Structure 1
Amino acid sequence: MSTLPIATPRQVRRAAVALVRADGRAFAAVLALNAAAALLGLAGPWLLGRIIDLVAAGATTADVDRLGLLLLGCAVVQILTGRQARYLAHRFGERSAAAVREQLLDRVLALPAATAERAGTGDLTARGTADSTAVGETLRDAAPELFVAGAQILFILGAILTVSPLLGGCGLIGILGIVLGARWYLRRSRPAYLADRAANAGLAETLSATANGARTVDALGLRQQRLAAGRAAVAAAYRTRMRTLDLRLRFFAAINLSYTVPTVLVLPLGAVLVAHHTVTLGAAVSTALYLQRLVDPLDNVVILLESLQSSTAAYARVEGLAAAPATVPAQARAGGAEPADGRIEVRGVHHAYPDGPDVLHGLDLELTPGERLAVVGPSGSGKSTLGRLLAGVDRPRSGSVTVGGVPLADLSPDRLRRQVVLVTQEHHVFLGTLRDNLRIAAPGADDAALAAALDAVGWQHDLPAGLDTELGPAATRLDGARAQQVALARVILADPHTLVLDEATALLDPATARHTERALAATLAGRTVIAIAHRLHTAHDADRVAVLTHGRLTDLGPHEDLLAARGSYAALWHTWQGPDGGRGPESG
C-alpha cells in the first residue's frame, strides 16, 4: 500500500493564507470587531482603578456614578461587539471549511485509479472524514477564538505596561514561561499528531478490510488472524494517542506554573510600591486585575494551540493531496494531441507493480478499430494487467500503449473515456435512483435510452418504482448480478470507442453471461472490444484470441487457427471442454 503525500508546514501555511485571501473582507471584519471587543474589555479594570483613586482623593458620588455608568456601557458594548464578531467568524469558518471539502473532493476525484487503489480506502476515508472535519471545526471555532485571545493578550499587556511598567514586567515573566513551553511543545507535537492520524487511518483500513471481507474471513477460518491484525492496529493507535497525551500533560503543567508566577510577584511588589508611593493604589489594583484577566485569553491560547496542532496535522494530510499525481498529465493540461483514429498499439511493453517483478515482458500487440479480441491465459499470466494498460489506468514501466498514435495514459479523463472504458466485476451502485445511477454515464439520456440499455444487458427485474426506485442499503439493495448489469448498462450509455471487459459478467450465470456478452457485442457493433476471457466461449466468439503465458504473448490468431496449431490455446480449450465435450474448468 502506498502512502499519499503529507503537506509540509510551509505548504499548510500557504494554503491557509489562500483561504483567508479568498474571503478577505469577512476576515478583516472579524479582526476589526475582535480588536474592538478586546479594547472595550480593557476599560473595566482601568475605570475601576480610576474609581478607587477618586474615592481615595475624596471625589463626589456624581463622579463615581459617571464612571460607573461608563463602565457599564463599555461592558454592554463589548458583549454585543464580541457576539457579532463570533457570528461573523463562524460564517467565515463555515465558508472556508466548505471550500476545503470541495477542494478535497476535486483532488480525490483527480487521483489516478491506480494511486487511489494503492493508497487504500482507510487513508482516503480518514482524510475525507475525520481530517477534513477537524480542519472545518478549526476554521469555524478555533481560528476565530485564537484571534480573539491573541488580540486580548496584546491589548492587556499594553494596558499593564501603560498603567505600571514595573508591575507589568511581572506579567511578561509569565508570558516568557509560556513561550518557552510552547516552543518545546511545538517541536514535538506535529510529528506526534501526524503519527496519531496515520495510525487512526491504518485502524480504519484494517477494520474496513475485515468488515468487507467478512464472508471470506468466515469461509477460510481467518477470524484469529483478523483479530490479531485488529489488535495490532488498535495498539498502534493507542501508542500514538498516549504520546500526544503525554506531550499535552507536560505542556499544561508548565503553563499552569507560568500562570501563578505573575500573581505571586505582583501582590507583594504592589504592596511595597504603594507603601512607598511609587504607584497609586488604583494602579496596583488595575494591574492585578489586568493580570488576572490575562489568564483567560492565555488559557484559551494554550488550549487552542493544542487543538491547532491536531488540526494542522489533519490539514497537512488534506492539503497533501495537492502533491499527489493527478489523473490529468502535463501533456493533457497543455492541450495534447487528439488520437488520429481508434487503432490501439502495444509496443515493447514491460510493466511491474510497485516493489514487484515485471508482470508483462516485451508485449507487442495491435488492434484494429471494430475488432473483438479475447485475452486468455492461466491465472497470473498478466491478463488483467494488460487490460488496465489498454484502458489507460496504468502507465507501462517501459514501452508504449497508444491509441491513434497518442499514449493512452497521457489523455485527459474526458478524452480517455471517449476512447476506452474498463469494466470489471468490481462495480458500485451509488445512492440515488436507478435513473441517477444510469445517467452517470450519459447525463442527457432520456428514459427510453435508459430502458434500451437495460434491455441490452438482459435486465428482467421488476423494481418497486421502475427507474425512480431508490437504491442503497436503506432502500432497495441490488445483488451482485443486478449491480453488474447496471454497470454494463452504463457502458452502453457511455458508448466508448473501445471497451475492455475484465470478468465483467463473472457474477452472472453462464447462460445469462453469454447472452449479455452477445447483446453487448451487437449493441456496440463497430466498437473495439477486448474481453479478458475467463469463460472460453468468449474466445470462441472473438475475431482473434491472444494467449498470455507468464506475461508473454505466446499465441495470437482466430479461434479455429489456434486450435489447429495445437499450441497453448488448444490445450486450454480442450481442458475447458472436458473429456465429455461439455464446459469444463474456466480459464483462470
Structure 2
Amino acid sequence: MSRPGVRRTTWDALRARRRQLGRLAAWSGVESLPALLGGVLVARAVDQGFLAGRFGTGLAWLGVLAAAVLVGAVGTGHVYRSLGAVVEPFRDELTTRVVHTALHEVTRAGGRADSAAVTRLTHQVEVVRDTFGGLLMVVRGFLFTAGSALLGLLSLAPLLAGAVAAPLVVGLVVFAAGLPAMVAHQRAQVRAGEELGRSAATALGGHRDVVACGAQDRVVEEIGRRVTAQAHAERTLARMAALRSLSLGLGGWLPVVVLLLAAPWLVRNGLSTGTVLGALVYVTTGLQPALHAVVQGVGGGGLRYAVTLDRILRACPPREDDAGPPVDARSVPRPGARAARGGAAPAVRLSGVTFRYGPHARPVLADLTLALAAGEHLAVVGPSGVGKSTLAALIAGLAQPERGTVHLAGAPVAVLAPAALARLRVLVPQEAYVRTGSLADNLRYLRPDADEAALESAVDALGARPLVARLGGLAAEIDPAALSAGERQLVAAVRAYLAPAPLVILDEATCHLDPVLEATVEDAFARRPGTLVVVAHRISSATRADRVLVFEGDRQVLGTHQELPARSPTYRELVGLWEHVAVPSGMPLGGP
C-alpha cells in the first residue's frame, strides 16, 4: 500500500499496542455477532416458522436476531473506546516527533524557526490520526464482518459459501493489484497541488517585478502549465475510482447475482427457501457492506494516510537525542577539577570562518582562524557593532558560519546536538535571564545536583554575598522584575560559574556591574578550571586576559595586552582613553 517507511511505522505502532489491539479485536467479535448469526436465524425463522405455518416460532427466531443486534450495538460502543487507545498514542508520537524536529532545527548551529513548516506538519499529523483511525476501523470491520458472514454461510450451506467466496477473492485481488498505482497517483496529485500553490504565491508576491519586466505572458504560461498538471493529476486519480467500482462489482454484487439466478436450481436440488434467503442476508448485510467499506476506506483515506505519513517521515526522520559525535560527560571537568592546558585538542578552534547577515551583506567576519588552548583566558574588544557578539554566537553554536568550521574540544559545533553542546560551553549574554522562584533554584539551573556547599562557595567567589544577604538567603523567593540589571547579571554569573561546561563565554555579561565587582567576577572565572572568553565592554577586562582579540575595521588582531599597543591603533586608542578615565569611588555593588 505504501512506502517501506510507512509500513514499518504503522506496524511498529500496532505492535507497540498489542494489548489495546486485543481488546479492540475482542469487542469487534462482539460487534460482529449479528453478521455471524443473521443468515442462520433468518433461515430458521422462514423454514421453521413462517413457511411451516408457525408464526410465533418465526417471530421468536427474529427476536433472537434482534437480541444479537443489541449485543452488537454494545460491542460497537466499546469498539470506539478501544480505538482511541490505539490511535491517540500514535498521534502523540507523531506530534512529539514533529515538535522534536522543529526544536532541533531551531537550536542546532545556524538553525532558525520555521513556523510555516511546523503548522503544515501538525496539520498533517491530524490527517494521519483521522485516516489511521478510519483505516483501522474499516480493515477491522472487514475482517470480522466478512469473516463472520463466511462462517455463517459455511454453517448454513458449504456450497453457497464457496460460490460467494470466489468472486469476493477476485474483487479483492483486483483492488490490491491497483493499490500501488493509486498511491502513486495520489502522491502526484498532492505534489502537483503544492507546486501550483508555490508558483502562484511567487507570482503574486513579485507581480510588480513581473509587470516591470514585461514578463506577464511568461508567468501566465508557467502557472498555466501548473494548472494543467494538477488537472491531469486530478483526472487520473478520479479514473482510479473505476478500479474501485470494478472490485466492488466483482466481490460485492456478483455473488448477489449468482445467488438470485441460481435460486430456482438450488431449491430444486434440496436447499430450502430459508437457506437461500439466509445466504442473501449474509451477502447483502455482511459481505457487501464490509467490502464496500474497506475498498472505499483504503482507496480514499488509506491513500491520504500513506502519502501524508510519508511526508511526515521524510520531514522528521528519526533521530537520537544526542546525535553527532559522542561527548563523554565524564570527560567534562566540573568546578573544582584541575584545569588542563595544552591538551590534545584546542578548547576552541575556528578555521577560515566567514560570516555575514545576508547573501549580499558585507562580511562581519572574513576568513578568521583562531585557536584557544584549554584553560586559556581570551578577551575580545573593539568598537560596538564590529562583530564581537557574532563571534561569541559562533563559538557557542548559536550561529553557523557561511564558510569555515568551528570546533569545541575537537568536535565540530555544526553537528553537535543541543545536549552535547550544552555540556561543552555556557554562554552568558548581556541581558541576563532570571526566573521567578528561589535564588537557589536560579543558581542551580545549569547544575541541578549542586549542593549547598557548592552554592555558598560560588556566591563567595563571585562577590555575591551582599546580594544574597539583601534578598534574604539562598532559599528566598525572588521577583526578577524587582532586581536591577546588575543584580540579574550577578545571578547569571554565579549560575554559569556552577555549570559543568569547561568553556564559559561572557558576552558583555558584566556591563551593568561596577568595575570592582566586574574584576571580582572575571578573576573568579579566570581561576575556575576551564577556558574563558570575555567579550569586554571595558578595556580593564583585557588587562586580566592571557590574550586579547581586537576587532579593528575589517580585520582582527590577536596578541597580549603588552604587545597590542604597538600593533593595533584601535587597541592603543582604547587603552589611552581608559587610562584617562577615573573610576568613581563608592559605586554601589551590583551596579545600577
**What TM-score comes out, normalization by structure 2 length?**
0.64
Question: How far apart, in 2, do the equivalents of 1:457 and 1:17 lie?
Answer: 61
Question: Is the 1:376–1:532 contact (alpha carbons within 8 Å) kept by the matching residues of 2?
Answer: no
**1:536/1:481 CA distance change after superposition, 3 Å:** closer
- 1:273 paired residue number: 262
Which range moves more in the overlay, 258-267 or 303-312?
A: 258-267
1:187 and 2:151 aligned: no
Query: What amino acid maps onto 1:499 in structure 2?
Result: V
**1:484/1:337 CA distance change after superposition, 3 Å:** closer
Secondary structure, in 3 states, of the residue corresponding to 1:71? helix
Question: Can you list the C-alpha shifts for 1:46-93, whole angstroms capped at 9, x where unaligned?
Answer: 422443344575263454244223312322222223333332232233
Write out aligned runs for 1:11-410 (5 A): 11-38=5-32, 40-55=34-49, 57-58=51-52, 60-61=54-55, 63-102=57-96, 113-114=107-108, 117=111, 120-124=114-118, 126-127=120-121, 129-137=122-130, 142-156=135-149, 162=158, 163-166=160-163, 169=166, 171=168, 174-175=171-172, 178-179=175-176, 182-190=179-187, 192-193=189-190, 249-252=238-241, 255=244, 259=248, 265=254, 269-277=258-266, 281-293=273-285, 294-301=287-294, 302-303=296-297, 306-320=300-314, 321-324=316-319, 327-332=322-327, 341=339, 343=341, 344-346=346-348, 349-351=351-353, 361=367, 363-367=369-373, 369=375, 371-374=377-380, 376=382, 384=390, 387-389=393-395, 401-403=407-409
Deviation of 1:371 (Å): 1.8
The sequence identity of aligned pairs, in percent, is 19
Secondary structure, in 3 states, of the residue corresponding to 1:276? helix
Question: Is the 1:49–1:283 contact (alpha carbons within 8 Å) kept by the matching residues of 2?
Answer: yes
Query: What amino acid maps onto 2:264 in structure 1?
Result: A
Unaligned 5+ residue runs, structure 2?
210-218, 582-592
Write out aligned runs for 1:428-443 (5 A): 440-443=445-448
Deviation of 1:513 (Å): 10
Question: How far apart, in 2, do the equivalents of 1:515 and 1:296 lie?
Answer: 85
1:420 and 2:422 aligned: no
Question: Is the 1:359–1:382 contact (alpha carbons within 8 Å) kept by the matching residues of 2?
Answer: no
Which range moves more in the overlay, 136-145 or 365-374?
A: 136-145
Deviation of 1:514 (Å): 8.4
- 1:228 paired residue number: none
Unaligned 5+ residue runs, structure 1?
1-7, 207-221, 226-231, 582-588
- 1:555 paired residue number: 557
Secondary structure, in 3 states, of the residue corresponding to 1:117? coil
Deviation of 1:199 (Å): 10
Secondary structure, in 3 states, of the residue corresponding to 2:32? helix
**1:494/1:49 CA distance change after superposition, 3 Å:** same
Question: How far apart, in 1, do the equivalents of 2:289 and 2:551 lie?
Answer: 72
Question: Can you list the C-alpha shifts for 1:530-573, whole angstroms capped at 9, x where unaligned?
Answer: 2346x575875662321467997x421245642332456558x5
Query: What amino acid maps onto 1:546 in structure 2?
Result: L
- 2:532 paired residue number: 529
Question: How far apart, in 1, do the equivalents of 2:496 and 2:512 lie?
Answer: 20
**1:539/1:259 CA distance change after superposition, 3 Å:** same
Question: How far apart, in 2, do the equivalents of 1:437 and 1:138 lie?
Answer: 46
**1:188/1:370 CA distance change after superposition, 3 Å:** same
Question: How far apart, in 2, do the equivalents of 1:186 and 1:147 lie?
Answer: 21
Question: How far apart, in 2, do the equivalents of 1:315 and 1:467 lie?
Answer: 47
Kindly name which structure, 1 or 2, has the bigger radius of gyration based on alpha carbons. 2
Question: Can you list the C-alpha shifts for 1:225-283, whole angstroms capped at 9, x where unaligned?
Answer: 9xxxxxx9xx9xx9899999767655456545654666765565544322334665445
Question: How far apart, in 2, do the equivalents of 1:498 and 1:289 lie?
Answer: 78
Question: How far apart, in 1, do the equivalents of 2:107 and 2:330 lie?
Answer: 21
Task: Tell me the number of residue pairs that the alignment of Structure 1 and Structure 2 aligns.
Answer: 524
**1:495/1:255 CA distance change after superposition, 3 Å:** same
Question: Is the 1:376–1:545 contact (alpha carbons within 8 Å) kept by the matching residues of 2?
Answer: no
**1:486/1:21 CA distance change after superposition, 3 Å:** farther
Deviation of 1:438 (Å): 7.2
